[in-house]
Chains A and B, each alone.
Chain A
Amino acid sequence: MMTATWRWWRGILITFGVLAALRFVLPLPFMNEVLIFSIYTIGCNFLLGRVGFISFGQPAYLAIGAYGTAFYLFYFGTNPYLGILVGLAAGVIFAFIVGLLFVRLRSDYFALVNLALAVIVFYMFQKVLAGITKGDNGLWFLTNIASTPILNLSRPAEFFVFVMLLGVAIWAFYKYLDDTVFGACCLATKLNETKLEFLGYSNFRIRLTAFVIANSTTALAGCLYAIYLGFVSPEMTSPARTADPVVVTILGGVGSLLGPIVGTVVYTGLRDVASKFIGNWELFVGIILVFIMMSNSGGLYGSLEKLLNRWKRVNG
């Protein structure tokens, strides 16, 4: 029925509607950044809020996607859409291979190993592969991006429209996931592994799938960054950056669908405002993080509990 469909889409459409409206109020660069960063965060949010895995290594996947796109545009072609596809493909493959190894680990080892991964990837792009990545200087390919029909991605205003559409699609996808058995399984895999196995599900496969989905989304955000900035550098996966998606996830509410967007707006806004006064990046992030964690009386998994109750009701 129309009303059911409307109710399903309501949250997403309203949020993106607000974002579209804000585009005319706030600076365009800010809005573009917010959109891309939100996409970056939703992967982390999904991993933490549904599967219960925290990853300090999101920047690694961001960088893989970004550099995939960058390589294509720098060395091969000029079509940004193809660039995105290449970067995304790289992200999916990388996430799959890494996931095969990582997903079996206990949550604390998982987090640490992902952190190590981010550092390794950083090192790879900065030094080891400096021949093709030009190391710290980064790759510049802004001029390489061709104009494309319908939406010219090389122009920020049209890029914004593209990312908006993409965003709606992505959020709809994650919302859809939530409603499926798969979504419920992800939750269950965190809360009661043994029961899930008894029910005939493979924890490993569920986690791997969730891992690949989440990190491919992150890689996609990397591709978008590459197109938007026309530039990539190893800095995007430097150790200082590993906390970004985690902070935003917590700010926006772990496990909440629209949380990444809210969290990103708040975070990016605060950062831009505060950097005029504090100028000290790490201090700012660190204090926010500790403050949020300490004041989080519902616990990090407070929102998770609500989801658990929903799952219980669904499954009787």
Chain B
Amino acid sequence: MTSAEVAIERRGGTIVARLSGEVDMTNATRVREELLVSVPNDALALVIDLDGCRYLDSAAIEVVFDLARRLGRRRQGLRLVVPPTSPLRRVLTLTEVDSVAPIHETLDAALAQ
């Protein structure tokens, strides 16, 4: 069974979503909904912290692109936190996720933007 958890926290104008567990085609839609409803209109940006995330497949990556599009329309930013040692890093670069959501190594760095 694939399971992922989303923990939401507000840091000033920024929403921090810690995504842990695994995301694949079975739960990508649910994760997308959870992330979407966590961002109120008055928020400036969403930071998805992938430090605790063990697996993302193409469906999950598509969620990031979709979120970037939707948030962009509302003029809200999207940034990702991926530690330098994370196995996810190469895949995210390969699929050019960083073109729509800048990738930071730490949460502090992402919040400093």
Q: Do A and B come from one complex?
A: no
